[in-house]
């Protein structure tokens, strides 16, 4: 499956879930989704995944190779799950930047981390993944967990991440992907389009946002397509690990 969201013709339109919208409209619509769900985001993640998202994130941390003194960028860091772990790994000599384009998510993440006593080595930046406001060759590791599918121009974002990584630095993309079993795929589709919107309605009084999230997962590039996009941007030794039958994949690439 090609990344139609990035290459939807020359009329400056893109995908917002299954809808076609103007490119300048998409960012605002995605922002509205996350403004709506920010307060209950963690609860919904636990309910939607049965808590398995914590295992996916733990594997991401393990594969990151982050150690004391490193500089880490957590893009689309939301409520700060990865940032919390990274802040402990890098220690007082290191630095973690939690970046999110959405102000509501950033505030929830900042409040949550401050409540847990995380302060000294973490900074919070409202930033667009397509145009990261950081110098070249700056970070040892970048993670983006469940955020890339919401980016309008994914190639631009991947190139921007490459630019701000140090040579030898690692990018890890944790994202919903394509199940590798047809039966699992059918079950997953029914769950996504029938159960998620109902759950969203009950927990956040917002079924439409969760319908969008289900649709955005289907429009995201499959494992091989995303691997090729990372290689095209300039990453080397790109690999991916399927988790939970390919429902989620973790891609990893190195800046040469």
Sheet containing strand 122-126, strands side by side: 122-126, 95-100, 71-75, 139-145, 165-176, 248-254, 236-243
Is 79 assigned a ligand-binding role in the annotation?
yes
Is 129 assigned a ligand-binding role in the annotation?
yes
Is 214 assigned a ligand-binding role in the annotation?
no
Annotated binding site for S-adenosyl-L-methionine: 79, 100, 128-129
Annotated binding site: 79, 100, 128-129
């Amino acid at each position: 499956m090609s990344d139609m969201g990035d290459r939807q013709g020359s009329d400056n339109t893109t995908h917002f879930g299954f809808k076609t919208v103007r490119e300048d409209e998409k960012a605002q619509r995605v922002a509205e989704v996350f403004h709506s769900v920010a307060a209950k985001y963690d609860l919904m993640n636990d309910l939607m995944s049965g808590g398995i998202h914590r295992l996916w994130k733990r594997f991401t941390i393990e594969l990151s190779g982050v150690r004391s003194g490193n500089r880490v960028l957590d893009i689309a860091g939301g409520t700060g799950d990865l940032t919390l772990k990274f802040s402990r790994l890098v220690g007082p000599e290191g630095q973690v930047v939690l970046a999110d384009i959405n102000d509501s998510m950033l505030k929830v993440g900042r409040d949550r981390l401050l409540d847990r006593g995380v302060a000294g080595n973490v900074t919070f930046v409202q930033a667009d993944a397509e145009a990261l406001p950081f110098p070249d060759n700056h970070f040892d590791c970048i993670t983006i967990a469940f955020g890339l599918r919401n980016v309008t121009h994914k190639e631009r974002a991947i190139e921007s991440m490459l630019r701000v990584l140090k040579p030898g630095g690692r990018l890890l993309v944790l994202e919903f992907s394509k199940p590798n079993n047809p039966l699992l795929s059918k079950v997953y589709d029914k769950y996504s389009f029938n159960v998620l919107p109902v759950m969203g309605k009950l927990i956040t009084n917002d079924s439409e946002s969760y319908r969008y999230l289900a649709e955005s997962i289907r429009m995201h590039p499959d494992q091989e397509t995303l691997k090729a996009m990372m290689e095209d941007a300039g990453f080397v030794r790109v690999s991916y690990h399927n988790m939970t039958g390919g429902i989620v994949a973790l891609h990893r690439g190195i800046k040469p």
